[in-house]
Amino acid sequence: MAVGTGRAVPPSAAEEDPVAPPGRARRRRSRPESVRRGDLRPALLFLSPWIVGFLVFTAWPVGYTFYLSLTDYDVINDPSFVGLDNYRAVAQDDDARRAMANTIFYTAFQVPLYVVVSLGLAMLLNQAGRASGFFRTVFFLPNMTPPVATGVLLLFLFNGQNGLVNDVLGWVGIDGPNWTSDPTWVKPGLILMSLLSVGGSVIILLAALRNVPEELYDAARVDGAGFLRRTWSVTVPMISGSLLFVFIVNTIAALQSFTEAYTAFFGVGNTTYSNEAAEFYVIHVFRQAFEFLQMGYASALAWVLFVVIMGITAVQLYVSKRLVFYQGDQ
């Protein structure tokens, strides 16, 4: 049972066709390449709507934002080049550091919890039989809720005086905190609230679970493995590719958290009350851009976040090489 070894090694020509002579293998490898070359033009033609869209609506704005990050720009007047001044200002910006620390804290706790809850629910659904479809829909429904509504809902569910969360805690004798004003509890409240949207990840992991061959579980049972052992040694390795995907995508999403926290603590939920504990990095970027009209500086802040996300993702991918198993690598 070759699970959990992870590292993807390209198959050699001989592995492609063990009985073929070396020369034959080279010919067979080159033929598909020539076929692909011939298909390239029509393929690009079919892809062109996406390519043009990507260039116009993603690549160009990203590139232009980098240019703006080197300027003093208030949107109203023309940008003026200031070199790396904005990046130097970012390095000295205490508020940016605090916002980044908030974001890293949120990400460090939210993502693992999110993945664990997603996996737990997916495993339950995998055992649910006919009821699985109904519960899939139920779990996915909160994903259809606008994030702004989720932000407002947070203020009611986590209300320190009469919120449902504290009511439930009260049943077991716990005097719940003021989730929406105590700086210590603001981020935990946001983390718990984010679990409402696990539905998307649950669906992905459920699909992965259904692809795990039943024979592996049978073999493990014959070997005397219990539920936890089967989960750890069969389930997790076999769906590790999907887990990595969910982990990376949610890490990026967590690092870009904005709407729920902004709504609850800076936007429509509170026009004047705010809580620094909820000021995530993207909220800081947004406020610099659209409240203080410092679009050049905000662009520099955004590029710093881009680099941070790239770095974290690269580390995740590097570490995953030793941990993730892809079935195609067998």
Task: Name the residue among 303, 302, 296 with its Cα closest to residue 81.
Answer: 296
Whether 148 and 268 have beta carbons less than 8 Å apart is answered as yes
Nearest-approach distance from CB 31 to another protein, in angstroms:
20
Whether 271 and 83 have beta carbons less than 8 Å apart is answered as no
Nearest-approach distance from CB 33 to another protein, in angstroms:
15
Nearest-approach distance from CB 309 to another protein, in angstroms:
23
Nearest-approach distance from CB 27 to another protein, in angstroms:
24
Nearest-approach distance from CB 219 to another protein, in angstroms:
50
Nearer to another protein, 43 or 310 (CB): 43
| Distance in angstroms (rounded) separating the CA atoms of residues 289 and 282 | 10
Nearer to another protein, 4 or 160 (CB): 160
Residues that bind another protein (CB under 8 A): 40-41, 44, 48, 51-52, 55-57, 59-61, 64, 74-78, 155-156, 159-163, 175, 178, 180-183, 271-277, 287, 290-293
Whether 243 and 236 have beta carbons less than 8 Å apart is answered as yes
Task: Name the residue among 132, 108, 107, 111 with its Cα closest to residue 121.
Answer: 132
Nearest-approach distance from CB 315 to another protein, in angstroms:
31
Nearer to another protein, 55 or 319 (CB): 55
Nearer to another protein, 84 or 268 (CB): 268
Query: Residue 261 class from Cβ within 10 Å (0-12 exposed, 13-18 middle, 19+ buried)?
Result: buried
Tokens 């320190």 -> residue: 160
Nearer to another protein, 76 or 172 (CB): 76
Nearer to another protein, 56 or 84 (CB): 56
**b/e sequence 115-136, b meaning 16+ C-beta within 10 Å:** beebbebbbebbeeeeeeeeeb
